[in-house]
Amino acid sequence: MADRFPPPKLRIALLVYGILWWVLMPVILIYLWKRGRKDPLYSQHIAERFGRYPDPRSGAVWVHAVSLGEMRSATPLIRALLARGEHVVTTHFTPAGRREAEREFASEIAEGSVRTVWVPFEYGFAYRRFLTRFAPQYGLVMEIEIWPRMIMACRAAGVPLFMCNAQYPLKSYNKDKGGLRATLLAGFAGGFVKSQAQKDRFAAAGMSNIHITGELRFDQPVPQANLDAAARVRADLTNGRRTFTLTSVVEGEDQVYIDMIRQSRDACFIYVPRAPERFDEVAGMLRDAGIRFARRSEFLDADLSPAGPLPDVDVLLGDSMGEMYFYLGLCDRAIVGGGFVTKGAHNVIEPLALKKPVIVGPHIWTIEYPATEAIAAGVCQLVQTPAELHRAVNDPVPVTEDQITAFYDDHAGGVARTLEAIAQALPR
């Protein structure tokens, strides 16, 4: 690791950054307490956020997946690491990410090959405790997460820290260019990135030891039980209507989709909010709009079997987590949420895995890869306005299963490429 890092300007910024974290500690704890009133997991295991962990196991591979999307992208890679005999510690900042890890790896957690904990707060002492207790072989930070204390603590401890399944969205790249955030990228031991364009951006920002590995989500396992459950109820629930699943809908775009639903005739919709704390809010919006809907929790049991007669509704509100493939199994086509707010769209790969064509709104900078490629291949339709969305729903562009299969096969294999790249990138 180069002695020139960090440069003097960044050293000063890190000092100020550290002081701010100490000054803001009461605010941070109040934030967790307030979030904990809606989701109790936010305010649980607080000691872990300060680097105190019961029964750590040293020598793990460390995977940092801040929230739900990052954890899902990490899942196939973690499976491959476990198959090679590694044990894994996953760290998270949000309950959604932690719950997904606990759900996906429940048996491995029980047998001790996976540990799931909170990532430390940005304090040097907290990271020193974490790195001392777990002594990871190396760390993999999923997508693009830049935490200064994490980077500096790993460098000080000699733990190689890599960005994994990484992309540097053009909007962020242009904003960061020449700034301190971009400068921190040189602190990573390397990166495993999604495409040549991403490699070029990370390299221009100062990262070295970069490997093109593709997108891990193309290797995500599909839970067959979810698909079987969808097959059992699809005909009775949809009544032969064209059916669309709205995935990961975020705050700020609900009205676009509710207006679309009200204007669509002879269609059925599955409406899945991104965050569980929004389930009741979205239910209220649908009720106020006069839309006939039912909540998944009202008529399906824990095994996704009907608890009684299926309701005659136009919208099923997906008020559960970890069942996206069930909701996608019910539809003919998916509409990916996030595209009608500037924060950007979410994952298009899950519907494509089930050979479902995709519609996405104008803000795709967050999923530049593989959305741009999917649009070019004709398996993802980009709509710029609510009016275009309405036309896409009522007059869908034909997409064949062979088109989607060819696109998917062309982009699979990210796990194998990443494992090979890790072996090449680690210090010898």
Whether 388 is catalytic: no
d(CA 108, CA 106): 6
Give one word for 112, left, alpha or beta, with left for phi > 0 and alpha for psi -120 to 50. left
d(Cα 191, Cα 205) in Å, to the nearest integer? 12
DSSP 72: H
333: nearest Cα among 249, 406, 241, 221:
241
Which among 48, 70, 100, 323 is annotated as catalytic?
70
Angstrom distance (rounded) from CA 249 to CA 58: 39
Name which of 96, 110, 161 is nearest 131 in CA terms: 161
**What distance in Å separates the CA atoms of residue 167 and residue 73, rounded to the nearest whole number?**
13
Question: Which among 250, 238, 173, 236 is positioned nearest to 206, based on CA atoms?
Answer: 173
Distance CA 78, CA 420 (A): 14
User: What token pair was written down for 56?
Assistant: 């750590």
| Residues 136 and 159: beta-carbon distance below 8 Å | yes
10-to-3, 4, 183, 235 alpha-carbon distances in Å? 14, 11, 8, 59
- In single-letter form, the type of residue at position 360 comes to V
Which of 402, 397, 407, 340 is CA-nearest to residue 372? 407
Residues assigned a catalytic role: 70
